[in-house]
Each structure stands twice: as C-alpha cells, then as structure tokens.
C-alpha cells in the first residue's frame, strides 16, 4: 500500500472499525464518553464521527451540547390574534409573553389597542364639548339630516357661523355652537330647503333628469355631453373630455423609451405618476408621427 494515499488510509481505517465487533466498539465508546467528545473518540478509533454519534445515541448516553434547559419546553398553543398553532420559546413564556405568533400579529394587536384607546379619548372630548354647548359639524349635519359638506358650503356662503376648529386626537373638528345650529335651523334652513325644492321642480319642468347619485364623474360627463359630444364646446365652456395634461418633452421621451421596452400603458403611467389615458394619448400621437 502506498503511504500517504488518503483514500487507501480511509479504507484501512474503515476496515479496522468494521472488523471490530459492534458490541466491543460500543463498550469502548461507553467508557470514553462523555469525557472525550464524539469527534475525539472517532479520531482515537479511526472511524467517522457520525458512527460514534450514532453509538452514543444508541447507548442512550447522548448529552446535548450546551447548558441544560432552564425552563420546560412550552406546549404548542393558538395565537390569540390569528389562531395559528405555534410554539413560543421558553423564555418568552417565562417573561409572560408567547401569546402571539408573529411580529405581524403583535403589530396588529398593538395597532388595535392604540386605535381603541384613541377613540375612547375622542369620545371623552366630544362629551365634554357637547356639555359646553358645542356640536361638531358631523353632529349638526346629522341633526339637519344633510351631509357635512353641505353645511361647510353654507358656512362659506355666510349662512352658518362656526365656532372655530379644534384638533382632537389627530383630527380637525369644526365646531358650531348649539344656539347657532338652532338659529340656522329656524331662520335659514326652511328657505334653503324651499329653494332646493324649487330648483328640482324647475329641472323637472325643463325635462332635465335628476342624475343618479351613484354616477361618477365620467358618467355625468357623458350624460351632459361633455365626454362624447361631437360639437365643439361653447365659448368659455370647459373643453370636452378629461382635462388635458401637458407633458414636458423629456417625459414624452421616457414614455417612448418604456413603451419600446414593451411596458404596458398602466405600468408606464404608474412609473411616471400620470394617468393611463395620458399615456395612451401620447403613444397614439407618437405612432401617428412615426407613420407620417
Ligand atoms: Zn398570529
């Protein structure tokens, strides 16, 4: 045998261990472990460390590496937030934690708690303001059975006087004195309602349909002829369709570059922070200019 041939030496060592009876090897391992590590015993007997590690396990004398477990291993449990089965670490349980499965669930729980707390404080403030004779615009609108934005318009038109704004838990509340709401309700409101009723009656007489409140801007534009009319708009009237967005030359160049790379209209629009309709228009114009 050639000395220094690693593979040959390995084979020789393996043979030597294999020639040793299993019970003999285990007896020797039992005598050496745990004073010597499995690696050291493997070197001593000339076999693989994994062989000795298996012997140690088979002998039932395997000692885990590191210090002994300080606390019992926790049992699997359900996350209090999402219900998923998980096993917290012993130290988490020992410190009174281990009820939530993940960072996400902890954040969620914390956020909910913070929101509930903020709402509770806001409710307290609202009760105090009501006791002091103030209403919020929301409360006033509820009382008049209209929407908040209408009331804000009547404030702008000078029909209703507010008592200033106040910042409550991160929100701005517009306040109105209760007497002012009562005055508005008695003096202004009937006339406003009568005027609206009159306007609706006139619309009906002219044959103008009342637009469904579910219609969005585009549907209204189409219905009123702004989106799909063929005639040019009257002087000083708004132009047909959506407002035209003017782009700088370098923005048009970027759209062209992305389109040449095969990007879609929406992808380009998102990238540049503009509407997909604008991209469509620019691309159509580019195509036209290229074919000419
Ligand atoms: Zn969870």
- Give the pLDDT confidence score for residue 209 in this predicted structure: 66
Instruction: Compute the distance from residue 84 Cα to the ligand 1 centre, in Å.
Output: 6
Q: How far is the CA of 121 from the centre of ligand 1 (A)?
A: 28
pLDDT at 4 over 60: no
Q: How far is the CA of 109 from the centre of ligand 1 (A)?
A: 10
CA of residue 96 to ligand 1 center, whole Å: 17
Rg (C-alpha) for the chain, rounded Å, is 40
Residue in 100, 96, 98 with CA at minimum distance from that of residue 80: 100
In the predicted structure, residue 180 carries a pLDDT above the cut 90:
yes
The domain segmentation of the chain, as residue ranges, is 6-59, 69-132, 133-210, 249-291
> Rounded to the nearest whole angstrom, what is the distance from the C-alpha of residue 115 to the centroid of ligand 1?
19
83 C-alpha vs ligand 1 centroid, how far in Å?
6
Lowest mean pLDDT among 55-64, 129-138, 239-248: 239-248
78 Cα–ligand 1 center, Å: 8
CA dist 178 and 122 (Å) reads 19
CA–centroid distance, 71 to ligand 1, in Å, is: 23
Domain 133-210 has CATH 1.10.3470: no
Q: How far is the CA of 100 from the centre of ligand 1 (A)?
A: 5
Helix, strand, coil share (%) of the chain residues, nearest 5: 55, 5, 35
Distance from the alpha carbon of residue 72 to the mean position of ligand 1, in angstroms:
23
What pTM does this model have? 0.39
Q: What is the pLDDT of residues 92-142, one digit of tens each?
A: 888 888 999 988 888 888 877 777 788 889 999 999 999 999 999 999 999
- The answer to whether 71 and 90 are in contact (CB under 8 A) is yes
């Amino acid at each position: 045998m050639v000395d220094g041939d690693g593979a040959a030496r390995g084979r020789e060592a393996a043979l030597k261990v294999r020639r040793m009876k299993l019970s003999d090897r285990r007896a020797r391992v039992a005598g050496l472990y745990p004073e010597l590590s499995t690696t050291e015993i493997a070197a001593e007997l000339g076999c693989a460390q994994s062989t000795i590690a298996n012997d140690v396990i088979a002998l039932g004398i395997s000692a885990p590496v590191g210090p002994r477990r300080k606390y019992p291993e926790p049992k699997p449990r359900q996350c209090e937030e999402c219900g998923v089965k998980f096993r917290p670490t012993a130290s988490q349980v020992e410190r009174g934690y281990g009820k939530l499965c993940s960072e996400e669930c902890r954040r969620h729980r914390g956020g909910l708690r913070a929101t509930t707390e903020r709402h509770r404080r806001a409710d307290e403030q609202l009760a105090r303001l009501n006791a002091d004779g103030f209403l919020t615009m929301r409360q006033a609108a509820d009382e008049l059975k209209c929407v908040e934005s209408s009331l804000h318009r009547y404030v702008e038109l000078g029909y209703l006087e507010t008592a200033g704004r106040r910042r409550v838990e991160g929100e701005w509340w517009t306040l109105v004195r209760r007497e002012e709401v009562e005055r508005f309700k008695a003096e202004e409101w009937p006339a406003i309602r009568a005027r609206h009723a009159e306007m609706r009656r006139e619309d009906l007489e002219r044959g103008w349909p009342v637009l469904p409140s579910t219609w969005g801007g585009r549907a209204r534009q189409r219905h009123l002829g702004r989106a799909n009319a063929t005639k040019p708009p009257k002087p000083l009237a708004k132009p047909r369709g959506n407002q035209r967005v003017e782009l700088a030359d370098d923005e048009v160049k970027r759209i062209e570059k992305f389109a040449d790379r095969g990007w879609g209209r929406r992808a380009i629009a998102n990238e540049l922070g503009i509407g997909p309709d604008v991209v469509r228009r620019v691309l159509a114009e580019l195509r036209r200019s290229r074919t000419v």
